[in-house]
Structure formats: C-alpha cells, structure tokens
Chain A
Amino acid sequence: MSGNTTGILEFLTIFILAMFVGNEVVARVPSILHTPLMSGSNAIHGIVLVGAMIIMGTASGTAQVVLGFLAVLLATLNIVGGFTVTDRMLEMFKSKPGDNPPKGKASADVEGGAK
C-alpha cells in the first residue's frame, strides 16, 4: 500500500497545513473548556476506525484478521466512547433557566450586590 513520491509530497503538504489549522482553531480556548476540548479531540482521532476498517477488509490469514478485528474494536471504543462522554460533559454546560425558584431569586440578588 505505498504510493509514489508525488503522492507522499501531497500528503506532506496536507499534513503541514493541517498542523497550522489545528494550532489556529484552539488558540484562544478558555480554561473552562480545556477538559471538554481534550475529550472532544480525543473522539475526533477515533476516526482511525476508518483505517481499521480498511485493513480489516483486506486482512488475510489468521494473524492479520485477529489483529484487524482488535483494531476495529479498539477504534470503535475510542470513537463511540469519546463522542458519548464529550456530549455528556457538554450537556451539563447549557444554562437551565428557572429550574429552581430560590436560585433564580438569589442570583438576581448577586447581580444587585455586585453593584
């Protein structure tokens, strides 16, 4: 599964550009989102499942099939678990207006107290 040398240069170009993009998009993330961002990007690299499926499809012989099976299993754990746990984390961040009357009143007091 090896490309020709033009191929590798194209892939290197994509690799380097993606590095800059990766750096740029998270440049100003607030610290409260560090944990969800880590977890979310953890889920994104779970896309290795696509690679695991490709090698599983072409695997021949017991050793390759067993290893390919394991690769698909591990990658599925990564991608499914990663997205699920990130969503669970972020679900809690949404504001829940008026679910507790005294709290709403109290936070209004806080606003008043803070001038």
Chain B
Amino acid sequence: MTLAIWIDLIYLLAAVAFIVALKGLSSPKHARNGNLLAAGAAIVAVGATFFNPEAHFSSHTTNLVLAIVAMVLGAAIAVPVARMVKMTAMPQLVAIFNGVGGGAAALISIVVFLSDANLHSLGAPKPAVYAIAEGMLGLLIGCVSFSGSAIAFIKLQELITGRPITYPGQQIINGLVGVAIVSLAVATLLTDSVPLMIATAVLSLVLGVIFVLPIGGADVPVLISLLNSFTGLAVAASGFTLNNNLLIIAGTLVGASGILLTRMMSKAMGRSLSNVLFSAFGSVVTASGGADGTGETRQVRTGTPEDIGVLLAYARKVVIIPGYGLAVAQAQHTARELADLLMERGVEVFYAIHPVAGRMPGHMNVLLAEANVPYDELKEMDEANPEMATADVALVVGANDTVNPAAKNTPGSPIYGMPIINADEAAHVIFLKRSMRPGFAGIDNDLLFDEKTSLLFGDAKDTLAKLVVAVQEA
C-alpha cells in the first residue's frame, strides 16, 4: 500500500472515533471517555498529516517549520486559557474556540482560491465551477461563524450590552446583505476574480455581526450552538475543497448534531428556533423594565437573613432552585456550603435544575459539579416537580422566569407554555434577587408578590453567605 492510502486509512479510523466519541458525549457515563477518544483520534490524524503527500511538507521545509511554529503557538495560548478560565465564563470560551475554527475554514477557502487563481494565470485550466462553489461555501459560512462568534463573545463578556440590539428594518437589511452575498458569490463563481472573492468574505463577516446583534441574553447560548453547527458545515465544505473525507465526516457530524442540539435547546426554553433567532426576544425589556421597577404599586415582602435562616434551619425539606443570578455571582460554592450546613442539621436538601438554568443549557450542572455537589443531589425539572408540593421551602437563587407561574397560568404571557419548576407549590418561597428588575423575558412574576414569598435583595453570593451565618446561629 502506498503512503497516501495508509494516511487515508488513519483518517477513516479518526472519523469513526469521532462518531463513537459523539455518541459517548451524549451519555453521562461515557462522556469523558468519549472526549478523550476524540482528542486521541485528532492527535493521530494531525500527526499523520505531517506525512500526507498532499501537504508536500517534505519538499517545503520552510512551510513545515512555520506550521509547527503556528501549532506550538496555538497550543501555548489555548491550554492555559482553557485551563484557567472560570467555569462561569464557559459560554464565551466555547464561542471563541468555535469562532476561530470558522475562521480557519474561511482561510482555507481563501488560500485554495488564491492558489488556483495563481495556477490559472500560469496556464492551468480554470477549476470546475462546483470546486469554486465548495470553496465559496466554506468561505461564506466560515466568515459568518467567525464574526458571529466574536460578537457573541463580546456580548457574553459584557463588553457591549447583552440585550438585543435592534433598529428599524433590521430583518430587511439583514436579508438584503444576504442577497448581496449570494450575488457576489455567484459573480465570483463566474469570473474567478480575487477582488470579488474578498468582497464576499468582507460582506459575510458583516452578515455575521448583524445577524447576532438582535439576539440577546439567555438566547446567546442557543446562538452559539447554531454557530457551532455552522462551523461544522464550513469544515465540511473545506473537506469538499480539499477532497478530504475526514473533514467532510467530522464537519458534517458537528453540523447535523449541532442543528439538532440547537433545536433541543430552544425547545427547553419553550420556543421555536426561528423565534430565538429573529424575534429579538426581550428587547422590550429596556422600555418596560424601568416602568415595572418604579410604577409597581403591589407590595413585596422582604425578609431579614435571620428570619429566613430560621425558616431554613427548621424546615424538613428545602429545594434550592439556582438560576442565572447564581452563575453570574459565582455563588455555587456558597450555595453548596448552605446546603451542606442544612443537611448536617438533618434537613432534606436537593437542587432543582431547570434545563436552561445558568448561562447556557446544562451550565448549572457544570457549576454545581465544580462546587463538588454530588450528582444525586441534582434533580432535573421533571424529577423535581412532583416533589415540590411536599417541600417546606423553595429557595430561588437568582432565577426568575424559570419559576414564573405565568408560564402555566397566563395564556397571553410571552413565556406561556415554557416548562417551569413549580416553586409556587412549596409551602414557602424565598427569592434571593439583586433587584425587582424582571427576568430575561421582561415580564412580572406574580410569585414575587405572593403572601408566602419572602425576598432577600443583594448579590447571590453575599445573601447566601448571610444565610449560612444565620443558619449557624439558628
């Protein structure tokens, strides 16, 4: 067998390993091994590529050295960042690692295009139209994914407002840019012109930005999942351009599973994917949020940490419902401290986790796992809800919409139909909140005004720490 066939065989094995790994990542038991398997397969495939005759590394020593320099540099940046970034900053980290992948796919298309144009000018035949089309697809999707992920990162890092940014005629403008890109791409296809190709790339970068701007708050993670899927497709397009099966299979796997995952995430929020992407959900909040805060005449009951501490200490069953506010305040360790303290006193404690609690779906599980909360104390919504009626206290930490009974009782409400944790069924409800500002959906939560509800205002970490002290003294 020739070297090329051996290398193709290694690529095939890597592709199979990726499929098995993805399957493993879908079950809690095999997830870590799945990821390690994929990483091992990737290392072998990358190692084999040094010997791939198509790369011509043996005759291009300078390029080989440069490639190694780029890889060492990349690894030297990526490992410390991935190791040290706080678990709460996970969503923006995934966004950035996804964006650079899209960027790499776009650059592959550009280099192949330049190289083909160069050969063509030296007398080689013009590449087939479908070959240019594959390249243009990789370029377009890769650019959108790159700039879209960058904006998602900036939003999550709160360098700009995390709320949707809207302006009149937004969808029309986005549509026009989309049409312009398609026209430019077709023109590039017909003329094989480098300036037109560059114009397509630039406009695709613009599309990524304006596509992401109107998506805000808790919708951004769904968007990242979609962009992840886009990058997968861009990588598959690179695979077509380079006639490489491994890139086609790996990219398509991620593209297809990413779309499905994105739809599952929107479903967990009780909304459709198009609603997430195009409705600028929550953009009215800025307008109505102030009015809700100041114009509200209904009274809420605020409790002191001491009162609430006693209530918790002498309860039989306490359910902790963590949300976005807990993630932002990084209060997961303090929450665990409080839970452990209560358990030492013989109180039954568990965490009820809404599927979209935290900053992205499943994020709360990661945060609580980081705080060493044992797995069996975490209950998913469907498992937790039947137990809510027998709970003495529902302790809602930095969550709002995910416990809003309007989702069950108010058909006109924007969140009507979204599955919620039935905190309202507990004998007492305690909200730890920063302010009376409504949650992400921008609607009032009647539960806040219920007479069995007490509120404790402040940063989730501070208020939980106060409760720890109060329980110790109770």
Which A residues fall within an 8 A CB radius of B?
1-3, 7-8, 11, 14-15, 18-23, 25-61, 63-65, 67-96, 99-100, 102-103, 106-107, 109-110, 113-114
Contact = CB atoms under 8 A, between A and B. Distances in A.
A8 to B, nearest CB: 6
Contact of A80 (B82, B116, B236): B82
A92 B370 contact: yes
A1 to B, nearest CB: 6
A54 B231 CA distance: 19
A7 B21 contact: no
Contacts of A43: 35, 38-39, 42, 97
Contacts of A3: 131, 243
B56 interface: yes
Contact of B19 (A21, A51, A75): A21
Contacts, number: 426
Contact of B260 (A23, A40, A76, A109): A23
B246 A47 contact: yes
Nearest to B68: A72
Contact of B101 (A29, A72, A75, A110): A75
9 contacts: A1-B115, A34-B265, A42-B98, A54-B55, A74-B101, A74-B107, A77-B78, A79-B46, A90-B32
B350 interface: yes
Contacts of B87: 89, 92
A79 B370 CA distance: 23
B108 A48 contact: yes
B242 A100 contact: no
Contacts of A65: 63, 66
Given A31-B361, A42-B97, A55-B112, A86 B35 contact: yes
Nearest to A29: B26
A46 B101 contact: yes
Given A46-B97, A56-B66, A71-B108, 7 more contacts: A1-B131, A26-B22, A35-B366, A68-B67, A69-B67, A74-B103, A80-B78
Contacts of A114: 348, 387
B256 interface: yes
Given A22-B255, A72-B71, A90 B31 contact: yes
B22 A40 contact: yes
B18 A44 contact: yes
Given A25-B257, A33-B28, A14 B249 contact: yes
A54 to B, nearest CB: 5
A88 B22 CA distance: 17
B57 A57 contact: yes
A83 B260 contact: no
B349 interface: yes
B82 A67 contact: no
Contacts of B182: none
A23 B87 CA distance: 28
